[in-house]
Structure formats: structure tokens, C-alpha cells
């Protein structure tokens, strides 16, 4: 009996200790969860039923110099289905959905399962991202007794003139989250335009149903951006360039550097980025290289435009007199190679003004035989070529070749024959249209100005070390080119005073001894066309125009496009005088 009691007591003690042990474990676990892990678990639990939602601020407008909106915001109405907690879609609800299908001309069959789930768990489901005012009125009238139909208005970026000035304005990305500028002014001034986003805290149940919403931070709209773009001038340039496939055109105030109009072709409609792009759409943009701003971010041989630099170098170095005369027979020979003039039969006897006016190559070849490439490079840099202009946008340096450059990149010395090509703007020379715009402005005003796009920007100038007499001579030559030279097509347009220079840039090397015009070339090998000018009327401030058309063959194409603009500009200036 005593032994039996002893065994019984041992078993009872074991059970008691086991129970105490398990309770101790539970107690320690509760202490760990409730005290030690309290803060972390509280945060985790809150995340299960609290959602923090960013409320995008209304983006600032981008305006032209007269306050006209180039990029703004427009209200967009979404159509939503708000679940009411029914296990199944009722016949009345089904009938309302059929009416919506007819009004919007859409098929909601694929969304039936999502609609049922939204209805069951009191969720919101977007039926249509954007509906018109007429569609809104029809749905509101025909489905007025269905409380599940909800209209939600939000704001989307809107470009009223579509592709106009697209490379200046840019576009937005990350539309589904919080839209951000990805290019152009939309990117450069993201912080200014974006404003401050708001923040709300939403309480949800386990099914995702919204129980309560509380505003934690109120948003504030972004600031408007006042640009130097003049919508009327921009429309004129766009119209003149509408048939051109690739190229660019700049209108700039040479005194202040304010860009009044800019076109880069091909362009694009920024609004296409408001929705997800298809692979085909993106590939088309890439194939056309439509996102490249050819005014700033593409380089070209300057062709005969560079003759302004060559003449300036020759005059400044006293290698030639403004009263000098030359004889052009259509070509000259240097080191057993023929170097041709643009006119096959030659220009005959020609003076210095006519050299630039008719863009005769032969005098430049003769001057290049006495000009060192360092001297030519020095004056090119003096006119701002080969260096960034510091325009706010991404831009290229261009290229002004020297002996050191060629040794470094080509592994051989610079040859005098290459200076002959450089003197007429060929060889390895590369410039951007915006550099040429600044150069033309400096010929007339004696300083290089930094291009700007925002009206309140500080004017930044750098005087050029070029004699005023030399600059005046270049101005006279450009005027002569308009009156009876290569740009005479744009002479006598109303009371416009135009100083101009044209150029035809080769895109591939011509074989030795080949006369220009002897071959039929493919489109991709056709020459680029330049047209640059400084112009004004009695009632308007002077402007610089730089136009570059890719692969059109002759500078006459660019002159013709410029003429279209000048005719519109003349009519506009009369109406606004």
C-alpha cells in the first residue's frame, strides 16, 4: 500500500511539474510577445488594416511667354463599381451593367468575376478609365437607381497642341503611381511643377473593404512655369516644317538668348505616355529616333556656314584684305587632288563679298593653304563652336579637330589637305544647331549669349575677341547673300530685313577627282541643308533663325522652308504692329 502511494505521488509530481513547465513556457512566450515584441507586432498589426495612400498634387502649368498653356491638366472621369456586400449580382445590377456596355461600347464579360468579388466584399472596381461627358450623362440618367455606380474625377496631364514643342515640353512617366517628368521641361523643373503630394490613412478590413479614410497631410499644387516660347511663332515654325521628315529649327533672341520657338523632327505627342505604351509604339519611337532633340543633341558638319569662321580668321590674321579678288574656274588642285567649287563652271572673277554671298569654295581653299588648323580651331572656339552653350537641356559638345585630336583618335598627323576641307565646313567638323544660333548672334552683337527657355533667367554674355570691322564685314556678306546670292529666294519679303547664309553638308566622303553631282545617292547619303539668318522688321525685335534639314540634298530646300516661315511672319507682324 505504501509502495503504491509512493508511485502515485511520483506520478502526480511529474504531472504537476510538467503542467507548471508548460505554463512557464506559455508565460514566457506571452511576456515575449506582449512586452518585448510589443512595438514590432503593433506595427505589423496596423499594417494589416491601415493603408497609407499618396494623393498626387495638381501639377503646375507650362505657359508660353503670353501666358497661354502649352501643358496643363484636364479632368478625367472614371467609372467605378462599388460593391454593396451582396453574395451575387442582382438582376437590377446585371441590367445596369448591360446598359453600361451599350453606352461605352465595351465588353464586361471578362470582368464578371472581378465584379462579383467586388460586390461580395464591398470593394471598388474601375470599369472604365475615362468616359466622355455625354457617356457620363447617359449612365447617370439610365442607372440612377443603382447605388453601385460611382463616378470619380481625377486630373491628367494635357497637351492642348499635342506634338507642338514636344522636345521642349517633354513628357511624364510613372503615370500609375505619381507622375514624374522624364524629359524636357517636365523633367528639368520636376520639383517646381510637381508641388507637394497629400497623404491619407485608410482603415481596411481583412477583405480589403475601406472602413474609414483620414487625411494626414493636405497636398498643394505645383507652380506654373513661364517659358520664353511664343506660341504664334512656334505655330509658324511648325507649319513651315510640317512636311520635313528629319531636322530642326530654332528661333532665338540674340540679345537675351531666350528661345522663342524650337522644332525637332520627327516629333511625338507627349500625351501617348499617359497610358502604357505598346511594344510597337515604343519601337516606332526608337526607330525614328523621335525622342532626340536635334537642335541640342545632334551634331552635323557645318558646311558653308563655317566659311564665316574661315573668313573671320583670315581677316583677323591679316591673310586677306576685305577688298581682295579671286578667280574661280570651278576647281583647284592641291597635292594632285582636285578640290571642287559648288558651281561646276566656276564663278569667274569674284570679290570678297561675293565669295560668301555665292558660297564659292575656291578662295577658301586658297586661304586654307596658308591657315594652320590651330588658327582655324582657335577662331571656331572663339565663336562658341566645339563647346557646350550651357542651354538647360542635354546637349553635345560638337567637334573642332586639331592635330592633337587626330593623333589621339586616328593615330596619324593632320594633313594640310584636310585643312582645305575644314575651311569649307567639312572634314571632321561637327556642330549643333544651337551653337550656330549663338554664333550668328555674336556676329551681330559682339558676344555669345547663353540660351534660355525661362523668361526670368539672367542674361549671360561672353564677349568675343573679334574686331568690330570683321564682324561688320561678315554682316555685309550675309546681307549680300540675301540680295543676290545663295539665299536670294527670301529677298524682298515685305519690310523684312534679312541677313542669311546657306550651306550643304556632305554626309559621306566623295572619292578623289569626283565632280559633285556626278552620282545618284541614296536618301541616307544625301546632303544636309543649312539655312541661318538674322532678321527684323521696323516693328519687331531681331531674331536668329537656324534651320537644319537632314538628307534633303541641297540648301535650296532649307531656303524654301524658311521662305514659308518668313511669309507667315510678315503677315503676323503686320497684324500685330
Whether residue 61 has pLDDT greater than 90: yes
Q: How far is CA 181 from CA 60, 163, 178, 187, 463, in A?
A: 12, 16, 10, 4, 35
Domain boundary among 208, 225, 242: 225
pLDDT tens column, 546-572: 999 999 988 999 999 999 999 999 999
Q: What is the pLDDT of residue 211?
A: 65
Domain boundary among 173, 190, 225: 225
Q: What is the pLDDT of residue 6?
A: 67
Total domains present in the chain: 2
Output 315 or 539, whichever has higher pLDDT.
315
Same domain? 196 vs 310: no
Same domain? 206 vs 345: no
Same domain? 217 vs 345: no
Is 43 part of any domain? Answer: no
Whether residue 535 has pLDDT greater than 80: yes
pLDDT tens column, 281-308: 889 999 999 999 999 999 999 999 999 9
Output 214 or 269, whichever has higher pLDDT.
269
Show the domain range for 403: 303-575
Is 237 part of any domain? Answer: no
Please provide the distance, in angstroms rounded to a whole number, between the alpha carbons at the two ends of the chain. 129
Is 505 part of any domain? Answer: yes
Q: What is the pLDDT of residue 513?
A: 45
Is 438 part of any domain? Answer: yes
Alpha carbon 63 to its chain's center? 16
pLDDT tens column, 447-501: 999 999 999 899 999 999 999 999 999 999 999 999 999 999 999 898 999 999 9
DSSP 4-36: HHHHHHHHHHHHHHHHHHHHHHHHHHHHIIIII
Q: Which residues partner with 71 through β-bridges?
A: 62
Same domain? 197 vs 309: no
Same domain? 68 vs 172: yes
Q: Where are the alpha helices (DSSP H) in 175-254?
A: 184-188, 190-194, 231-241
Please answer whether residues 477 and 357 qualify as being in contact, where contact means their C-beta atoms are separated by less than 8 angstroms: yes
Whether residue 46 has pLDDT greater than 80: no
Same domain? 217 vs 307: no
Same domain? 206 vs 329: no
Same domain? 328 vs 208: no
Is 530 part of any domain? Answer: yes
Same domain? 334 vs 204: no
For cell 453574395, the residue is 87
Q: What is the CATH number of the domain that holds 424?
A: 3.40.710.10
Q: What is the CATH number of the domain that holds 94?
A: 3.90.1310.10
Q: What is the pTM of this model?
A: 0.84
Domain boundary among 225, 242, 267: 225
Is 322 part of any domain? Answer: yes
Output 485 or 145, whichever has higher pLDDT.
485
**Residue 463 C-beta-side C-alpha neighbours within 13 Å:** 4
Is 425 part of any domain? Answer: yes
Q: Which residues partner with 202 through β-bridges?
A: 51, 213
Is 279 part of any domain? Answer: no
Amino acid at each position: 500500500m505504501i509502495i503504491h502511494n509512493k508511485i502515485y505521488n511520483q506520478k502526480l509530481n511529474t504531472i504537476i511539474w510538467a503542467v507548471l513547465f508548460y505554463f512557464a513556457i506559455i508565460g514566457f512566450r506571452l511576456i515575449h510577445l506582449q512586452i518585448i515584441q510589443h512595438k514590432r507586432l503593433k506595427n505589423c498589426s496596423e499594417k494589416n488594416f491601415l493603408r497609407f495612400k499618396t494623393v498626387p498634387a495638381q501639377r503646375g502649368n507650362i505657359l508660353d511667354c503670353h501666358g497661354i498653356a502649352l501643358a496643363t491638366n484636364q479632368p478625367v472621369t472614371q467609372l467605378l463599381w462599388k460593391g454593396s456586400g451582396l453574395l451575387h449580382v442582382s438582376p437590377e445590377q446585371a441590367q445596369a451593367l448591360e446598359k453600361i456596355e451599350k453606352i461605352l461600347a465595351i465588353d464586361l464579360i471578362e470582368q464578371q468575376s472581378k465584379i462579383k468579388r467586388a460586390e461580395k466584399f464591398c470593394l471598388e472596381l474601375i470599369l472604365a478609365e475615362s468616359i466622355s461627358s455625354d457617356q457620363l450623362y447617359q449612365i447617370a440618367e439610365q442607372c440612377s437607381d443603382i447605388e453601385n455606380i460611382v463616378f470619380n474625377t481625377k486630373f491628367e496631364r494635357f497637351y492642348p497642341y499635342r506634338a507642338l514643342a514636344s522636345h521642349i515640353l517633354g513628357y511624364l512617366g510613372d503615370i500609375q503611381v505619381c507622375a514624374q517628368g522624364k524629359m524636357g521641361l517636365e523633367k528639368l523643373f520636376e520639383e517646381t511643377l510637381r508641388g507637394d503630394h497629400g497623404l491619407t490613412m485608410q482603415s481596411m478590413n481583412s477583405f480589403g473593404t475601406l472602413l474609414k479614410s483620414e487625411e494626414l497631410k493636405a497636398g498643394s499644387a505645383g507652380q506654373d512655369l513661364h517659358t520664353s516660347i511664343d506660341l504664334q511663332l512656334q505655330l509658324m515654325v511648325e507649319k513651315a516644317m510640317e512636311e520635313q521628315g528629319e531636322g530642326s529649327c530654332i528661333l532665338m533672341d540674340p540679345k537675351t538668348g531666350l528661345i522663342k520657338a524650337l522644332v525637332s523632327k520627327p516629333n511625338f505627342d507627349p500625351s501617348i505616355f499617359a497610358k502604357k505604351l505598346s511594344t510597337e509604339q515604343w519601337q516606332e519611337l526608337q526607330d525614328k529616333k523621335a525622342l532626340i532633340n536635334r537642335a541640342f543633341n545632334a551634331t552635323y558638319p557645318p558646311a558653308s556656314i563655317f566659311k564665316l569662321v574661315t573668313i573671320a580668321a583670315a581677316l583677323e590674321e591679316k591673310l586677306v584684305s576685305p577688298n581682295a579678288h579671286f578667280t574661280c574656274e570651278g576647281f583647284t588642285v592641291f597635292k594632285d587632288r582636285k578640290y571642287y567649287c559648288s558651281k561646276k563652271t566656276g564663278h569667274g572673277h569674284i570679290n570678297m563679298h561675293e565669295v560668301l554671298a555665292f558660297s564659292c569654295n575656291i578662295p577658301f581653299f586658297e586661304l586654307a593653304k596658308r591657315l594652320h588648323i590651330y588658327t582655324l580651331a582657335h577662331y571656331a572656339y572663339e565663336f562658341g563652336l566645339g563647346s557646350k552653350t550651357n542651354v538647360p537641356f542635354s546637349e553635345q559638345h560638337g567637334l573642332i579637330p586639331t592635330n592633337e585630336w587626330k593623333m589621339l583618335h586616328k593615330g596619324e598627323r593632320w594633313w594640310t589637305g584636310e585643312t582645305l576641307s575644314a575651311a569649307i565646313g567639312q572634314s571632321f567638323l561637327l556642330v549643333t544647331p544651337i551653337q550656330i544660333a549663338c554664333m550668328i548672334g555674336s556676329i551681330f552683337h559682339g558676344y555669345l549669349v547663353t540660351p534660355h527657355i525661362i523668361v526670368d533667367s539672367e542674361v549671360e554674355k561672353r564677349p568675343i575677341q573679334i574686331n568690330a570691322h570683321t564682324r561688320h564685314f561678315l554682316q555685309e556678306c550675309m546681307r549680300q547673300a540675301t540680295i543676290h546670292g545663295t539665299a536670294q529666294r527670301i529677298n524682298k519679303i515685305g519690310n523684312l530685313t534679312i541677313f542669311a547664309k546657306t550651306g550643304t553638308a556632305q554626309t559621306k566622303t566623295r572619292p578623289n577627282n569626283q565632280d559633285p553631282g556626278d552620282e545618284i545617292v541614296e536618301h541616307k547619303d544625301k546632303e544636309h541643308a543649312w539655312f541661318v539668318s538674322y532678321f527684323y522688321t521696323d516693328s519687331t525685335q531681331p531674331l536668329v533663325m537656324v534651320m537644319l534639314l537632314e538628307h534633303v540634298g541641297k540648301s535650296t530646300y532649307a531656303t524654301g522652308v524658311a521662305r514659308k516661315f518668313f511669309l507667315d511672319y510678315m503677315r503676323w507682324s503686320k497684324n500685330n504692329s
